[in-house]
Amino acid sequence: MRRTVLNRVRLATAIWRRYLAVKVLLVRRLPLPAVVDALRSRPRTLATHQEPRQLGRSVARALTVGKYQPRCLTMALVHYSLLRDLEVAGDLVIGLPAQPTNPRAHAWVEIDGVDIGPPPGRHGHQEMARFR
Neighbours of 9 (CB within 10 A): 11
- pTM for the predicted model, two decimal places: 0.91
Tell me the per-residue pLDDT of 56-107, one tens digit each, with 9 for 90 and over: 999 999 999 999 999 999 999 999 999 998 889 899 999 998 888 888 899 9
Amino acid residing at 105: A
Alpha-carbon gap, residue 46 to 37, rounded angstroms: 18
3-state secondary structure of 32: helix
Residues ≥6 apart with Cβ < 8 Å to 5: none
Q: How many domains does the chain have?
A: 1
- Domain hosting residue 32, numbered range: 5-131
Strand order in the sheet with 106-111: 114-117, 106-111, 91-97, 125-131
pLDDT at 13 > cutoff 80: yes
Residue 2, pLDDT score: 57
3-state secondary structure of 16: helix
Residue 1, pLDDT score: 47
